[in-house]
């Protein structure tokens, strides 16, 4: 499932790929926050090959194992093994990661457990609000 905007320079290429792989890949465009949370809660993995967004922390708070394009100062997103950082975040690197996680069920299970327990404590809005009030 792919959601969000597409940069103009990639629109035609991605549209063709979505059509070609429509049996396995769905592009939804923009979604409401409730729809995004529902996707996160059903997801096995969230991959963010673009620039930083608050959606990153929200995915972690929902207990989703995550992969991020490496940017400066984002190591805090890994709260003990829930996240993988991608150097290029290109098709080959993302494909290799997905293939690795599909073949290594223990690794993806561990990532999910860490995200579910530690990620929620670190990034849920209720926890952030509680800490702010203290």
Each residue of 3-25: pLDDT tens digit? 888 888 888 998 999 999 999 88
Burial track 67-79 (b if 16+ CB lie within 10 A, e otherwise): bbbeeeeeeebbb
pLDDT of residue 75: 97
More confident residue, 10 or 39: 39
Residue 46 CA to residue 38 CA, distance in Å, equals 13
pTM, two decimals, is: 0.86
* pLDDT beyond 90 at 124: no
> Interior CA angle at 31 toward 90 and 3, to 5°?
15
Residue 75 CA to residue 18 CA, distance in Å, equals 32
If you average pLDDT over residues 51-68, what whole number do you get?
Answer: 95
* pLDDT beyond 90 at 31: yes
The mean pLDDT value of the chain amounts to 93
Residue 11 CA to residue 104 CA, distance in Å, equals 33
Query: Cα–chain-centroid distance for residue 110?
Result: 16
* pLDDT beyond 90 at 129: no
């Amino acid at each position: 499932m792919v959601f969000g905007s597409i940069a103009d320079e990639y629109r035609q290429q991605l549209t063709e790929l979505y059509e070609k792989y429509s049996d396995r890949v769905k592009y939804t465009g923009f979604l409401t926050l409730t729809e995004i949370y529902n996707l996160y809660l059903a997801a096995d993995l969230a991959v963010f090959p673009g620039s930083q967004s608050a959606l990153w922390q929200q995915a972690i708070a929902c207990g989703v194992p995550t992969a991020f394009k490496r940017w400066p100062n984002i190591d805090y997103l890994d709260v003990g093994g829930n996240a993988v950082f991608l150097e290029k975040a290109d098709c080959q690197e993302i494909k290799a990661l997905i293939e690795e996680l599909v073949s290594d069920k223990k690794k993806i299970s561990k990532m999910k457990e860490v995200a579910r327990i530690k990620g929620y404590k670190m990034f849920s809005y209720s926890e952030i609000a509680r800490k702010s009030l203290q």
